[in-house]
Amino acid sequence: MTAAAQIAFLGRRAFLRSIRQPGQMAFALVFPLFFLFVVASGLDRAASLPGFPADSYVDFMFAIPFVHGALFTALNSGIELGRDIDTGFLNRLALTPARGIAIMLGNLAGGVALVLIQYCIYFAGGLLMGAHFEAGLLGVPVLFLLAALGAVAIGATAMTFALRSGSPEAVQGIFPLFFVGLFLSSMNMPRNLMENSWFQWIATVNPVSYLIEGLRSLVIVGWDPEALAIGFGVVLGAIVLALATSTHAFRARMTRT
Amino acid sequence: MIHVALAVGFRGLKKSFTNLAFVLPALMFPVIFFVGFAGALSDVDQLPGFDYAPGYETFQFGFVMLQSAAMAGVFTGFGIAQDFERGFARRLMIAAPRRSGIIVGYAITTMIRWFFNTLVVVAIGLLIGMEILGNPLELFALVLLGLLVSLIGTLWAAGVALRLRSTQAGPVMQFPIFLLIFLAPVFVPIDLLTGWIHAVASVNPFTAFIEGARSLLAGSTDEVAVAFGIAVPLAALAGIWALTGLRSAERG
């Protein structure tokens, strides 16, 4: 079996395992849309602030469910890997000809397949709430691609935690850390309109801001090469870093085994 | 009953404060919400019609304080459900001469835990420039309001947990509270809300709690009587809900 076939096989397993947990699936689908709905309604007036970059707050927030979805689903991938270690499945898998890279990428591929389906629902939900998408039809795959790469970066980071701890609970425990990254970013307000300089500084050094701004540029500007280049650059950098650490953690785990 | 309540309360507090896995999530969420909303959205107080003297940090603190109070109750409900799944709650019910003390014990744990978490949020708020204009008596009333909201959240979640006795019931405990919390004037005063959310927020009891808390923080007593006038009977209703849940658990 080639590495690609192994990735496809293990990806299918990860995908099916996730969709067989309706509670988790429902949360990952409902929460991001609910959050968009209530925040966009509650902060509708904020769009009238001088210098606000979007016509409505729902446009401004439209990109956020994609990041939420990436976070929930990618974190679940890490939790499932932690469960595989906990139950001894990974040890049994290590006795088969499956390559290490296929095990890791297969796990990530299952998560990515799932978020792509979720993104279709978020996109339709956002449009139903009155959002406008400036980049047009060609922008949709770019939006999905950038958000899915974000999911890969988060998923690979969660996998590192799973491989180091071998416990699904430990991976679940890092959820608040990702949440910090999301809330201390330009999620709710453009950085130039942040009155508090300390918060503006945190949002500026927080890479999540650039992922959000890249996604948001497709919604409210259309095609902004600078925002997209920075968004893709930051996410690809995060993926390289996260995959390097998770590969190292994988080797260490297999050596211990 | 007091002995049962104290024993359950002590166990809950020990579990809450000695296990980082319990301490951190319960503490981090209010901190994240507070810093995230107050920090990023401070420009919102420039909106025409936004008239709140202490500033946006305090405006958000009023919300986060009550949100964490209600959610602390929900977390306790998760704990009760977990105790049933592990068989501990059954043993507890056999051992307790007055079982209503079990609910009181869980409520004591939640309220103390919430108070501790709120102190941390206050400390962070003061560091980032939050102003509190209320006098000591108003602040005492504010804490009392928070404790009442925490009690309502606990009794609601306990009632669900005692009926369903499974952690699968988590969304049933969480989602109605979540809806109430976020369908209130979270980011701007109710007068600045428009459309359907204004209509929903106008009849949402959580709106009265938030407005009461924000008044007390600003050194005013506007809306405070309404907040307590709703919170006290709601706590009594939630108490009946929890006690009938206990009867349901006793029947098995």
List, for residues B35-87, the tens digit of each pLDDT value: 999 988 888 888 888 889 899 999 999 999 999 999 888 888 888 888 888 88
Q: What confidence score (pLDDT) does residue B187 get?
A: 92
Nearest to B216 by CA among B162, B148, B114: B148
The number of angstroms, rounded, from the C-alpha of B89 to the middle of its chain's C-alpha atoms is 23
pLDDT value at residue B153:
94
Q: Are A69 and A115 spatial neighbours (Cβ–Cβ below 8 Å)?
A: yes
If you write DSSP's letter for every residue of A99-124 in order, what string do you get? -HHHHHHHHHHHHHHHHHHHHHHHHH
CA dihedral sign of residues A134, A138, A142, A147? positive
> With b meaning 16 or more CB within 10 Å and e meaning fewer, what string describes B74-95?
bbbbbbbbebbeeeebeebbee
Rounded CA gap, B211 and B191, in Å?
12
Which pTM does this prediction carry?
Answer: 0.84
What's CA B33's distance to the chain center, in Å? Answer: 14
Residue B233 forms contact with A (CB below 8 Å): no
CB atoms A199 and B28 under 8 Å: no
Of A176, A188, A198, the CB nearest to B25: A176
Q: Residue B182: its chain A contacts at CB < 8 A?
A: 34, 38, 42
CB interface of B with A, residues 25-64, below 8 Å = 25, 28-29, 32-33, 35-37, 39-44, 46-47
Among the listed residues A172, A65, A72, A79, the one whose alpha carbon sits nearest the alpha carbon of residue A124: A65
The residue with tokens 């307590």 is B228
- On the question of pLDDT at B167 being above 90, the answer is no
CA distance B44 to chain A (A): 6
Nearest-CB residue to B21 (from A23, A173, A186): A173
Nearest-Cα distance to chain A for B116, in Å, is 19
Contacts of A41 in chain B (CB under 8 A): 193, 195-197
> How far is CA A138 from each of CA A128, B29, B79, B172, rounded to the nearest angstrom?
19, 38, 48, 40
**Helix intervals (H) in chain A:** 3-19, 22-42, 57-61, 64-86, 89-94, 100-128, 136-165, 168-173, 175-183, 197-205, 207-220, 225-256
Lowest mean pLDDT among A32-46, B209-223, B231-245: A32-46
B177 interface with A at CB cutoff 8 Å: no
Sequence-separated (6 or more) residues with CB below 8 Å from residue A132: A55, A56, A59, A219
pLDDT at residue A170 greater than cutoff 80: no
Least CB–CB distance from B47: residue in A27, A45, A196: A45
Q: Which residues of A touch B28 (CB under 8 A)?
A: 176, 179-180
Rounded Cα–Cα distance for residues B59 and A155 (Å): 36
